[in-house]
Structure 1
Amino acid sequence: MNSSPATVSSSTTLAEAKRRRTFAVISHPDAGKSTLTEALALHARVIGQAGAVHGKAGRRGTVSDWMSMEKERGISISSAALQFSYRDAVINLLDTPGHADFSEDTYRVLSAVDAAVMLVDAAKGLETQTMKLFEVCRHRNIPIITVINKWDRPGQDALALMDEVLGRTGLTPTPLAWPVGEAGDFRGVLDRSDGSYIRFTRTDGGATIAGEERFTASQAAELEGEAWHTAEEESGLLELEGQQHDQDTFLAGKSTPVLFGSAVLNFGVHQLLDVLVDLAPSAEARVDAHGEPRPVDAPFSGFVFKVQAGMDTAHRDRLAFVRVCSGVFERGMIVTQAASKKPFATKYAQQVFGRDREIIDTAYPGDVVGLVNAAALRVGDSLYEAQPVSFPPIPTFAPEHFMVIRAKDSSKYKQFRRGIEQLDHEGVVQVLRSDLRGDQAPVLAAVGPMQFEVAEDRMNNEFNAPVKLERLAFTIARRTTPDWIPTLARERSVEVLSRTDGDLLALFSDRWRLQGVEREHPGIVLEPLVVS
C-alpha cells in the first residue's frame, strides 16, 4: 500500500522530484516531433516497434497521434503526454500539435514543462513557427535543447545552421556532438566530450533501435577518412569560438546544447535521452500567482493545463491533465479547487501513455496526472491540499477566425449544447455568446481555421450532433467593458460577444474598422488580447 501524502517524508519528495524530467517537443510543422516522440519511447524500451507519422503500408501510426484526423493527415492536432523510465530518471514527455493553427495548445503545454526539445529541419533551418516557440520559451525562461533533425536527407551546412541559430535567436549553440558526413550522408557523430566516434547502423525502415558502435579517433579516421577529418576540423572551429557546453548558461537560457540526428532512422535518439537525464533541469519550485515560489516539498499542488475528451470512445469520458507542482499526489485524496474553494475527489486518477492509460496511485512534482471525468475542472485551474495556492492563469490567444455554429437537427439540441460546452472546456475553440444570437447559434472563435474542422468532426462523430458552420466577416478581437457595449452596438461591422471566462470581446471586420472606431470615440476601451 502506498503511503499517504502526510507520511511521505520531505526528503523522499525532494528525491523523487529530482528524478523527474518534464519537457515538451516543439517545432515548425512537419519537422518530425511525433516521430521523435515515438523514437524516444522506443529507445527507452517502453514500446517494441516505432510507428510512422505518414503510415506507409504495414506501418503503424505513432503512439502519441491517436485522433482520427491526426492519423488521416499525418500531423499532431492534440498534445499528448507520455511517461516512462530511463536509467534512474522518470521522463514526462509532452508532444505538441504540429500545425500553427493549434499554437494555443502548444502554449498551454509549455506552461507545464521544465525544458523543451526544439526540432529544426536540417534543410529548412529556423522556420516561422520555430522562431515563435523560441520566443515563448525565452519569455518563460525554459531551457532549450536543440536537435537538428533529418540529417539523413540533403540539407544545409552544419556550421551555417549554427550561425543561423546564434544570429536569429541570440542563443549560443553548443553542440555536444558533431555530424560525420554532410546532410544526406549521415554516418555517425563525433562525441565532443571525448573525441570518440559513434557510428550508426540503419535498421529496416527505422522501426527498431538503430545499431551504435563507438570507435577511437584513430579508428574513425581509418573508417571514414575525409568525412572524419572534416568533422574534427569543424569541431575545432567551434571550440575556438567558445561554443562548448556550459550548464549555467544553458539553464539561464543563454545557450542551447545541440545534437544532430534522424528521428525516422532512430539516429542520435539515445544521445538525446542521455542529455535529457544528465543536463535538463528537474522539477523545481514553481512561482505562484503572487510571484512566490512554491517549494516542491510543500503540500500537494498542481494546475490543469489541458482537458481532453474522446480518448476512450467506449466510455466517452474526459481527462484533465494536471501538472504536479509540489508535494505528493495520491489517488483518492481530496483536493481543493482554488477558484471555487470547492473540494474535488481524485478517485479516478490515471497515468497516460498516448491514448493508453493505467491507474496511478502516486505522483510527484514534475509528473502529469490524468483526472478522469473531471467535469468541474477547466484549463488553468489550480488544485491544492492543506496550503492554499493559485498558479498564474494560462493566457488565451487572440482569435482571428470566427464562425457561427448551429445544429443541423433541432431534435439533437441537447447533444449539440453538451458538445459545445465540452469543446469550450477543452479549449479546442473559444465559444462566444450574446443575447441576440442565443445559445442555439454561438460563435466559435479560433486562432486558425483547422480548429473549426476539428470542432465540426467531433460534433458530428463524437457527440452525434451534426452541425453547420457559417463564416463571419471578422478578423480582429479586442477586450472591452460593459460601458462601451451601447456605443459599439451602433457601429457597422462590429459585434460584441461574451466569452466563457467573462471577458467581453468586440469583433471588428479589419484593422481599418478598428482604427475608425478608435478615432470616432477617443478613450474607448479596446484592449489587445496579449499572450504572455
Structure 2
Amino acid sequence: MSYSKEIEKRRTFAIVSHPDAGKTTLTEKLLLFGGAIHVAGAVKSNKIRKTATSDWMEIEKQRGISVATSVMAFDYADHKINILDTPGHQDFAEDTFRTLTAVDSVIIVIDAAKGVETQTRKLMEVCRMRKTPVIVFVNKMDREGKDPFDLMDDVEEELKISVRPLSWPIDMGQRFKGVYNIFEGKLDLYTPSKQYVTESVEFKDISSPELEKHIGDSLAQKLRTDIELIEGVYPDFDVEAYLRGDLAPVFFGSALNNFGVKELLDCFVRIAPSPRPVQAIERVVDPEEEAFTGFIFKIHANMDPNHRSCIAFVKICSGRFERNANYKHVRFNKQMRFSSPTAFMAQKKETVDEAFAGDIIGLPDTGNFKIGDTLTSGEELHFKGLPSFSPEMFKYIENADPMKSKQLAKGVEQLMDEGVAQLFVNQFNGRKIIGTVGQLQFEVIQYRLLHEYGAQCKWEPISLYKACWIESENAAMLENFKKRKSQYMALDKEGRDVYLADSAYVLTMAQNDFPDIKFHFTSEF
C-alpha cells in the first residue's frame, strides 16, 4: 500500500471530559467495536474484578478514576484508530493538556444530567488554541437529564463553538426509546435489557406514517417537530467547518449500554481528519514527507512492574519509523537505534517493525528522553508547545526510611521525568520541594513510590504561592535579586532558576522592584 494511503487511514484522537462523564466507558465500547477486546470492564463495579482496559495502574483500579493518559490502537472499517484516554480529574490536567498536542481531533464526552462542567471548558480552550476539531458525545441518555435543546445551548455558550446535532434522542431516562440518526437517516431503537442496538431501520423520510408504528403517536409527533426545529435553527453540517474547529457535531447515546457508540464511530472514521501538519520552531512538518520526525509528549515509568522500565511515548509527525534504523536525538545530537519499539493496547504492548505519521509508539527509555525531545532522520528540528505549568501546591518531600534513600531518589527522578509533578531544590537549605497542580497528585506520588520503588516518603508543609522561572539580560540585577531572595530561590531539574514566591503581594512587589527580570509561569519544555 502506498505511503499516503497509510497516512490517510490513520485517525488519532483523544477522549476528554469532566470526571465521571463516562469517558473510560466510552473508550471501552469503542475498543469492543474495534474487536480489540472481547469483554468490556465494568469500570466502577467492585463486584466485577475485571477493571477497564485503559485504567490499568493499581491506584486507578482502586479509585475507579484515570490518573494517566493511556494509549490504545485498533483497526476499524479499514482505518487504523489510535485512542488516547485522558484523565478527567483536574489534578491531572497537565497530562491531558500535553496529550492534546499529540492528537488530530478530540471527542468531548458530556453527562446529559450535568451538562458542560468546568474541566471540559478548560480542555476546550486548549482545543481552540490549537484549532483541533471536536465531536461532542452526550452520554447517559438512559438516565434523566437536561432537555436536549438546553444541552445544545449549554455547549454553544460554554464551549464557545457552533453545534450541529447529527443524532437526536427520542425521550430519555426510563422512557428512552433510542435516537434518530440524522447523519445516516436511520432510526436506532433502544431496548434497555439488551446491550446493543436492537433495531436499526432505514428512515430517510420521517414524515412517513411508519414512524408511529415504531415509537408511538406522541413521540413520533415530537420527533418531527424537533427535527424541523433542528433544520431551522442549526447550520447544515459542513465537514470543512468541523475540520477548521468552528463546528462541533453532536451525538447522543449511552456508553454503558453500548448505545449510540457505533453510530459515533462510523461517522467519526468518515469525517475526522487524518494526520495534519505539525508546527515546529524551524518550519511546518507535513505528514506526507518521506523523512521521519516525531516528538515525545509523555514518559511513563513502570508500565511493567517486574522490570523497572520507562516508556517514552512518541507521536510520529512525518515519514515512516522503522525498527532498528538509526535516528537522531536532536537534544543530544547523537544517533540512536531502537530494537523494540512497541504499539499499545493500554498496558499490553507488542513490538512493531514500522509505524507511520499519526501513530503513537513507545520506546524503551533508560533516562535518554525528556518530554518535548525530538527524533528525526537527521534534520535539526524542535517541536514546540509542550507546556509545563507553574505548580500551585507545594510540599517538602522527606525520606521516611533511611535504608531506602537510593530507591527514593530513583523513584522521584523517574516520576518527575514523567511530568507528574515538578521538583525544585531549595538553594538556601538544599531541601527538595515537590510542586503539583492538585492535591491528589501527592497521594499518587506517595502511593507509586511505595508500590513501584519500595520507597517511603513523608510530606512536610511549606507555605508558598507560586513558582516562577526567572531570566534577565541584566546580569547585575539578576544577581542582586537572587541575593535578596536567597531563601526563596530554587533550581528545577533542568538547573534553571526558579523563584518561589510566598504570596501574591510579594510576587507583585518583586515584579515592580526588578523591572528587567522576566517572570515566566509556564516553562516550555
TM range (shorter): over 0.9
Structure 1 position 13, deviation (Å): 1.9
Partner of 2:396: 404
Which letter does structure 1 place at the counterpart of 2:214?
L
* Partner of residue 213, structure 2: 222
TM-score, normalization: structure 2? 0.94
Q: Which amino acid in the other structure matches residue 47 of structure 2? A: A
Counterpart AA for 1:214: V
- Gap change, CA 1:130 and 1:72, over 3 Å in 2: same
Going from structure 1 to structure 2, the CA distance change for 1:408 and 1:489 (only over 3 Å counts) comes to: farther
Match of residue 5 from structure 1: none
Give the residue type in structure 2 aligned to 1:75: I
Query: What is the deviation of 1:403?
Result: 1.1
Give the residue type in structure 2 aligned to 1:221: E
CA distance in structure 2 between the partners assigned to 1:416 and 1:289 by the alignment: 37
Superposed CA deviations along residues 390-425 of structure 1, whole A, max 9, x for unmatched, are: 211411011101111121122212111111110111
Corresponding residue to 1:231 among 223, 248, 265: 223
Q: How far did 1:285 drift?
A: 2.3
How many Å apart are 1:526 and its aligned residue? 2.6
Give the letter aligned to residue 474 of structure 1: L
User: How do 1:471-482 and structure 2 match up within 5 A?
Assistant: 471-481=461-471
**SS of aligned partner of 2:339:** coil
The match for 1:496 among 486, 489, 492 is 489
Kept in 2, the 8 Å contact 1:288–1:294? The answer is no
Q: Given the alignment of the two structures, is residue 174 of structure 1 paired with residue 164 of structure 2, yes or no?
A: yes
Q: Which of 215, 235, 244 is 1:243 aligned to?
A: 235
Q: How do 1:132-531 and structure 2 match up within 5 A?
A: 132-193=122-183, 195-202=185-192, 206=195, 209-216=196-203, 217=206, 218-225=209-216, 226-438=218-430, 441-481=431-471, 483-484=477-478, 486-491=480-485, 495-529=488-522
Equivalent residue of 1:369, what SS?
A: strand
**TM-fit CA distance, 1:348:** 1.5
Change (3 A) 1:352 1:194: closer
Rounded Cα–Cα distance in structure 2 between residues aligned with 1:488 and 1:186: 65
Q: Indicate whether 1:58 and 2:48 are aligned.
A: yes
Instruction: From the superposition, tell whether residues 331 and 86 of structure 1 become closer, same or farther in structure 2 (CA, over 3 Å).
Output: same
Q: Structure 2 CA distance, aligned partners of 1:378 and 1:111?
A: 15
Shift of 1:184: 4.9
Amino acid in the other structure paired with 1:213: S
Matches within 5 A, 1:1-16: 12-16=2-6
**What is the one-letter code of the residue matched to 2:247?**
S
Structure 1 regions of 5+ residues with no counterpart? 1-10
Return the letter of the residue paired with 1:368.
Answer: I
Q: CA 1:502–1:184 in structure 2 vs 1: closer, same or farther (change >3 Å)? A: farther
- Offset, 1:215: 4.9
Cα-to-partner distance string for 1:509-532 (whole Å, 9 max, x where unaligned): 221222233344454433333789
Residue 183 (structure 1) shift: 4.7
**Is residue 105 from structure 1 mapped to residue 95 from structure 2 by the alignment?**
yes
Aligned-partner Cα distance in 2 for 1:280–1:412: 50
Instruction: Tell me what 1:25 maps to.
Output: 15
Q: Is the deviation greater in 254-263 or in 474-483?
A: 474-483
Task: For 1:70-109, list aligned pairs within 5 A.
Answer: 70-109=60-99
Provide the rounded CA distance (Å) in 1 between the counterparts of 2:128 and 2:176: 31
Letter in 2 for 1:286: V
- Given that 2:315 and 2:358 are in contact with CA atoms closer than 8 Å, whether structure 1 keeps it comes out as yes
Question: Cα deviations across residues 85-135 of structure 1 (Å, max 9, x unaligned)?
Answer: 000100000000121000000011100000000011111111111111111
* 2:370 counterpart SS class: coil
| Secondary structure, aligned partner of 1:201 | coil
| Corresponding residue number in structure 2 for 1:44 | 34
Aligned residues: percent identity?
A: 36
Letter paired with 1:346: F
Aligned-residue Cα RMSD (Å) equals 2.0
Give secondary structure in 2 for the equivalent of 1:526: strand
Q: What 5-or-longer segments of structure 2 have no aligned partner?
A: none
Q: Structure 1 stretch 471-480 or stretch 50-59: which is displaced more?
A: 50-59
Range that drifts further, 95-104 or 291-300: 291-300
Structure 1 residues 180 and 531, CA gap change in structure 2 (3 angstroms) = farther
